[in-house]
């Protein structure tokens, strides 16, 4: 069975995530035994970010790494497990609220495809990049993440 990274590399629609993981030097960590649960934003999710955001994050690997770690949870949790838990703690250290039934909602993101099994965990494809401490009612500019307009 393939690792989380191998699945992302070989699945269309994750090129931005794969690039981000490489820039943030997280490839080795996400190829380790884990297990991990990854909320994987697809390319469309990254495209929703304001113009220049991805470029700015690529130029700031530490901040990019922090955002990516917010999408990863220690342990392998399927959607049914996540629904029961209601809240999980990311590798970044922040909590992520989980709610909804079908589709499952992860903070402000909707799970598009759940329970993709990898050798070292579970992947849930999401439609939005989840940002730490960002309430969906606030704009991206309210965060301290550097960006260019």
pLDDT computed for residue 53 by the predictor: 87
Domains in the chain: boundaries: 4-142
Q: Hey, what CATH topology would domain 4-142 get?
A: FAS1 domain (2.30.180)
Predicted confidence (pLDDT) per residue in 5-24, tens digit? 999 999 999 999 999 999 99
pTM of the model: 0.86
Residue partners of 101: CB distance under 8 A and separation at least 6: 83
d(Cα 51, Cα 25) in Å, to the nearest integer? 24
Query: What pLDDT score was predicted for residue 146?
Result: 40
pLDDT of residue 112: 97
Residue with tokens 């993440």: 145
Q: Which residues of the chain have pLDDT under 50?
A: 134-149
């Amino acid at each position: 069975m393939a690792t989380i990274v191998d699945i992302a590399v070989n699945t269309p629609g994750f090129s931005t995530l794969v690039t981000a993981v490489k820039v943030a030097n997280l490839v080795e960590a996400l190829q380790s035994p884990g297990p991990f649960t990854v909320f994987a934003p697809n390319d469309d999710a990254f495209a929703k970010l304001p113009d220049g955001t991805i470029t700015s994050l690529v130029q700031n690997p530490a901040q990019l790494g922090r955002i990516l770690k917010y999408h990863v949870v220690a342990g392998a949790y399927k959607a049914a497990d996540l629904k029961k838990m209601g809240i999980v703690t990311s590798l970044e250290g922040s909590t992520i609220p989980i709610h909804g039934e079908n589709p499952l909602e992860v903070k402000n993101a909707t799970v598009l495809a759940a329970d993709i099994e990898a050798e070292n965990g579970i992947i849930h494809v999401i439609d939005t990049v989840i940002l730490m401490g960002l309430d969906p009612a606030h704009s991206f500019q309210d965060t301290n993440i550097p960006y260019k307009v």
